[in-house]
């Protein structure tokens, strides 16, 4: 028995040792007695069979949580790489994100997409028909797929409302023709042009999630997420969040943060908590979850990012985690910042389609034709091949294979790496020494991960 390869350690202020398995995200803290006990077991100084039932139960729990393992290091690394590859190549659900338009009525200060496209086209009937043909081609060649999932994206999709409805209707038709269950959908919108009638139309199409970004209270939000006319959008969006929940569509409330709004996170979460109390008919604590994450730094926002993000990553990520903990205290769920999975770019059955019919893999490059796999209407086999090429995972260096945070990092964000290599993927982007490891250890020492992840308190082992 030994500690897992994928272990973070941090000493807490109370002297206990916090441990985190970065694959399973299990977190546990050991007091001195149990720390010494575990070390003695690892060093073969004592035998598990000779322990009391109470201590044996605690050790078995630590083993179940993946903190301790019976596998040798090579076996464990092989298991993790196999798991990541299985997630990447899994083909049971085909996920299609469609942008009916790249037009937008907001001018957000940090927009990740504003550098991706000059033209702002809207979809046509031909785009929908060509996309349907490609989806059917993909399904014919991958018989293991038995369901579809749709994302309605942008730009701002409400500016071409019919295009989004046509896309959803088309996916429903494919599922009916193939005997698949009715597809589920998510819409990502700034929320300004939605209303109850539109929410009910979306619900009828099986849209179950509305993702919207609000970056803090009204004065903060309105200066970061600017309407093209300069008008206030905060109240309208908040009203539509309540309407969405009341109608029955879950709300994923994203807060994008940097140094400009990091102090507004907790007051804003408190405000949403107050709304939940004031509007019990909306059932917000069940219908709304928070996603809180630092801004993704793109090459078109270099000066802003250098001022408000670069060099501040460790503190910003910790503030985001503290805000998640606060949201959970108020009864809200939070979207996991460290979901151990593969990025949607690497997932083989996941594509994005632009309004003019170009196919992409990555949300951060959506609309930038330099990253496109090609256009609908071209040879579908050629498109499939190009999409597979764009799905390749980050190449892992030798040091990656023995890295204790490999399951969280997986070689680093390929979009970020491409910014350093003239748009080319397949380069490792290691952020461990720059900020990631120190952030993880600091947050672990403060007990923050233990309040987000995991579980039951096994005897004298303290979570």
The answer to whether residue 52 scores a pLDDT higher than 70 is yes
Find out whether the peptide bond into 155 is cis, omega within 30 degrees of 0: yes
What mean pLDDT value characterizes the chain?
86
Mean pLDDT, range 174-194, rounded to an integer: 97
What is residue 336's predicted lDDT score, i.e. its pLDDT?
64
Query: What is the model's pLDDT at position 341?
Result: 54
pLDDT at 455: 43
Alpha-carbon torsion angle 126, 128, 131, 137, nearest 10: -90
Say how far apart CA 275 and CA 116 lie, in whole Å. Answer: 36
Read off the pLDDT of residues 104-157 as tens digits, 9 standing for 90 and up: 999 988 887 765 556 678 999 999 999 999 999 999 999 999 999 999 999 999
Residue 397 has pLDDT above 80, yes or no: no
Q: How far apart are CA 110 and CA 271, in angstroms?
A: 24
Give residues with Cβ within 8 angstroms of 433, minimum separation 6.
none
What percentage of the chain exceeds 90 in pLDDT?
A: 53
Q: Output the pLDDT for position 338.
A: 57
Q: Which domains are present in the chain?
A: 2-76+452-462 (no CATH), 92-334 (3.20.20.70)
Angle at which helices 125-141 and 161-178 cross, to 10°:
30
Query: Under a CB-based contact definition with an 8 Å cutoff, are residues 10 and 445 in contact?
Result: yes
What is the pTM (predicted TM-score) of this model? 0.86
Contact (CB, 8 A) for 185 and 169: no
Q: What angle do CA 286, 151, 98 make, to 5 degrees?
A: 160
d(CA 123, CA 99): 8
Give the least confident one: 55-59, 246-250, 299-303, 443-447. Answer: 299-303
Residue 395 vs residues 345, 381, 425: alpha-carbon distances, Å: 14, 25, 10
pLDDT band at 418 (very low <50, low <70, confident <90, very high): confident
Question: Per mean pLDDT, which of 242-246, 316-320, 403-407 is the most reliable?
Answer: 242-246
Please determine, for residue 463, whether its predicted confidence score (pLDDT) is greater than 60: no
Does pLDDT of 456 surpass 60? no
């Amino acid at each position: 028995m030994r500690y897992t390869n994928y272990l973070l350690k941090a000493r807490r202020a109370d002297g206990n040792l916090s441990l985190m398995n970065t694959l399973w995200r299990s977190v546990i803290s050991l007091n001195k007695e149990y720390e010494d006990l575990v070390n003695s077991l690892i060093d073969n100084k004592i035998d598990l069979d000779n322990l009391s039932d109470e201590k044996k139960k605690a050790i078995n729990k630590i083993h179940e949580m993946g903190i301790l393992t019976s596998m040798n290091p090579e076996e464990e690394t092989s298991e993790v790489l196999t798991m990541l590859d299985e997630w990447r190549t899994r083909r049971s659900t085909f996920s299609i994100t469609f942008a009916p338009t790249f037009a937008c009525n907001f001018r957000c200060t940090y927009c990740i997409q504003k550098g991706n496209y000059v033209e702002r086209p809207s979809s046509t009937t031909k785009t929908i028909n060509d996309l349907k043909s490609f989806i059917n081609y993909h399904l014919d060649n991958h018989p293991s797929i038995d369901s579809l999932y749709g994302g309605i994206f942008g730009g701002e999709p409400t500016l071409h409302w019919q295009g989004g409805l046509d896309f959803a209707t088309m996916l429903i038709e494919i599922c009916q023709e193939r005997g698949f269950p009715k597809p589920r959908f998510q819409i990502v919108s700034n929320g300004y042009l939605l209303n109850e009638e539109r929410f009910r139309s979306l619900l009828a199409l099986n849209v179950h999630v509305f993702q919207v970004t609000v970056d803090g209270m009204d004065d903060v939000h309105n200066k970061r997420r600017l309407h093209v006319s300069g008008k206030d959008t905060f109240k309208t969006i908040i009203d539509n969040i309540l309407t969405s929940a009341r109608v029955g569509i879950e709300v994923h409330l994203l807060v994008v943060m940097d140094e400009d709004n990091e102090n507004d996170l907790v007051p804003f979460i408190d405000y949403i908590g107050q709304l939940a109390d004031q509007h019990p008919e909306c059932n917000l604590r069940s219908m709304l979850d928070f996603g809180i994450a630092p801004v993704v730094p793109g090459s078109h926002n270099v000066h802003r990012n250098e001022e408000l993000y670069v060099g501040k990553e460790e503190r910003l990520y910790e503030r985001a985690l503290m805000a998640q903990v606060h949201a959970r205290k108020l009864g809200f769920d939070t979207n996991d910042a460290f979901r151990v999975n593969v990025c949607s770019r690497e997932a083989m059955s996941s594509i994005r389609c632009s309004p003019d019919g170009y196919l992409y893999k990555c949300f951060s490059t959506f609309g930038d034709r330099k990253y496109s796999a090609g256009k609908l209407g071209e040879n579908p086999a050629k498109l499939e091949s190009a999409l597979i090429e764009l799905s390749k995972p980050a190449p892992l260096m030798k040091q990656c294979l023995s890295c204790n945070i490999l399951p969280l990092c997986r070689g680093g964000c390929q979009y970020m790496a491409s910014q350093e290599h003239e748009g080319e993927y397949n380069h490792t982007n290691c952020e461990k020494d720059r900020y990631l490891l120190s952030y993880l250890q600091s947050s672990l020492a403060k007990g923050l991960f233990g309040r987000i992840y995991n579980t039951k308190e096994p005897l004298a082992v303290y979570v």
